[in-house]
Amino acid sequence: MTTISSGQATIAEKEDRVFSAGLSTKSNLAKLAAWIDERNVAFLVCSIGMIVMLLWAGSFKMTRPGAEGIIPLVSNSPLIWWHFKLFGPYIGSDLIGLTEWLSGALLIVGYFKPKAGILGGLVATIIFFTTSTMIITTPGAIISVPGIPGMRYMSFMGLFLFKDVISLGVSFYLISYFGRKAILSENRA
Task: Give residues with Cβ within 8 angstroms of 82, minimum separation 6.
Answer: none
| C-alpha to C-alpha distance for 130 and 178, rounded to whole angstroms | 22
The answer on pLDDT for 9 being more than 80 is no
DSSP letters along the chain, please?
Answer: ---SSTTS--HHHHHHHHHTS----S-HHHHHHHHHHHTTHHHHHHHHHHHHHHHHHHHHHTSHHHHHHHHHHHHT-TTTHHHHHHH-HHHHHHHHHHHHHHHHHHHHHHTTSHHHHHHHHHHHHHHHHHHHHHHHHSTTSEEE-TTSTT-EEE-HHHHHHHHHHHHHHHHHHHHHHHHHHHHHHHHH-
pLDDT in tens, 61-81: 999 999 999 999 999 999 999
Say yes or no to pLDDT of 52 above 90. Answer: yes
Q: When comparing pLDDT for 19 and 23, which is higher?
A: 23
128: pLDDT strictly greater than 60: yes
pLDDT per position as a tens digit, 76-103: 999 999 999 999 999 999 999 999 999 9
Q: For 133-181, what is each residue's pLDDT tens digit?
A: 999 999 999 999 888 888 889 999 999 999 999 999 999 999 999 999 9
Q: What is the value of pTM for the model shown?
A: 0.84
The predicted structure's pLDDT at residue 24: 72
Residue 16 confidence (pLDDT): 55
